[in-house]
Amino acid sequence: MSSRLSYYLQRSVRFLSPAPPVIANRYPRLHNVLWVTKAAGYALLFGHLITTYGFSYTGTWGVSMLPSIASSGDFVLISKFYRHGRGLEVGDLVTYKHPYHGDQGLYGIKRLVGLPGDFVLRDSPGAKEGVMIQVPQGHCWIVGDNLPLSRDSRMFGPIPLGLIKGKVIAKSQLFGRDFKWMKNPLQDVADDMHDEEDETI
């Protein structure tokens, strides 16, 4: 080993090495207890920060999103950068704190159908007279993919964006099997009709 390399090695070792282990030498049991407490504290601290402001990965249940997410056994990766509805687009899958049971810790996943100012269908397509209503300021309209078996904005109305906690960016089976990115399925309005007209003319 060249002397220069060993010099840098020593330097980095000295730089990274902790203080002399006084407690570990004199009171090994206390040292263990302290280490576990410290590790638990760090896990709590950074676990909270990551799952509130970064990403979280949880299991889901329920039939309301059936073609997109299975009724049980699917796990979703949620990006919390979209909390409070920041940067969301119509067609995204969002997680929200439930407006009725949210204080008991219930969260849901639905598809974002309307943002503030958008006009949305109040009931299921073809169910009633087809009233369109405007989503109020600071609210959003969320509907499940499984229309007959979903309890969503068609029942509780628009919900405040403050209840939106994140956006589903990927889904998988347990431990990341069948990992799949979630894409926004919304398509631009096709221009096919005009093309056909042009052809006939």
Partner 1 sequence: MSPILTGRVLYQCAKASIFTISVAIFANDNLFEIVSISGKSMTPALSPDHNTSGTRDWIVLRKMQPTNNIKRGDIVSYPSPHNPDKIAVKRVIGLDGDTVLLDQRRRSAMPPEKQRGWDTWGGKCVVPYGHLWVEGDHWSGSLDSNHYGPIPKSLIDGRALGLVWPWSRFGQTPWTQYRSKTRVIEGIAVCPKEWEL
By CB under 8 A, tell whether 29 contacts partner 1.
Answer: no
Binding region for partner 1 (CB under 8 A) out of 65-73, 100-108, 167-175, 177-185? 100-108
Tokens of 193: 């009709």
Binding region for partner 1 (CB under 8 A) out of 32-40, 101-109, 142-150, 188-196? 101-109
DSSP codes of every residue in 137-164: TTEEEEE-SSGGG--SHHHH--EEGGGE
Find the catalytic residue in 64, 68, 150, 153.
Answer: 64
**Could you give the CA distance from residue 160 to residue 158 in angstroms, rounded to a whole number?**
7
Judged by CB, which is closer to partner 1: 50, or 174? 50
- Looking at residue 190, the DSSP 8-state letter turns out to be P
By CB under 8 A, tell whether 49 contacts partner 1.
Answer: yes
By CB under 8 A, tell whether 155 contacts partner 1.
Answer: yes
For residue 85, give every residue at least 6 positions away whose Cβ sits within 8 Å of its Cβ, in sequence order, or none.
94, 115, 140, 161, 164
Q: Which of 77, 96, 89 is nearest to 169 (CA)?
A: 77
- Looking at residue 180, the DSSP 8-state letter turns out to be E
Min dist. Cβ of residue 41 to partner 1 (A): 9
The distance between the two most distant Cα atoms of the chain, rounded to a whole number of Å, is 95
By CB under 8 A, tell whether 121 contacts partner 1.
Answer: no
**Could you give the CA distance from residue 110 to residue 84 in angstroms, rounded to a whole number?**
15
Active site annotation includes 64? yes
Min dist. Cβ of residue 54 to partner 1 (A): 12
Judged by CB, which is closer to partner 1: 112, or 163? 163
Q: Answer left, alpha or beta for residue 153, where phi above 0 means left and psi between -120 and 50 means alpha.
A: alpha
Min dist. Cβ of residue 75 to partner 1 (A): 21
* Residue from 15, 26, 188, 191 in contact with partner 1 (CB under 8 A): 15
With vertex at residue 102, the alpha carbon angle to CA 96 and CA 105, rounded to the nearest 5 degrees, is: 100
Judged by CB, which is closer to partner 1: 77, or 161? 161
Active site annotation includes 110? yes
Find the catalytic residue in 80, 110, 165, 167.
Answer: 110
Residues catalogued as catalytic: 64, 110
Q: List residues binding partner 1 (CB under 8 A).
A: 11, 14-15, 44-46, 48-49, 52, 84-85, 97-103, 106, 136-139, 151, 155, 159-164
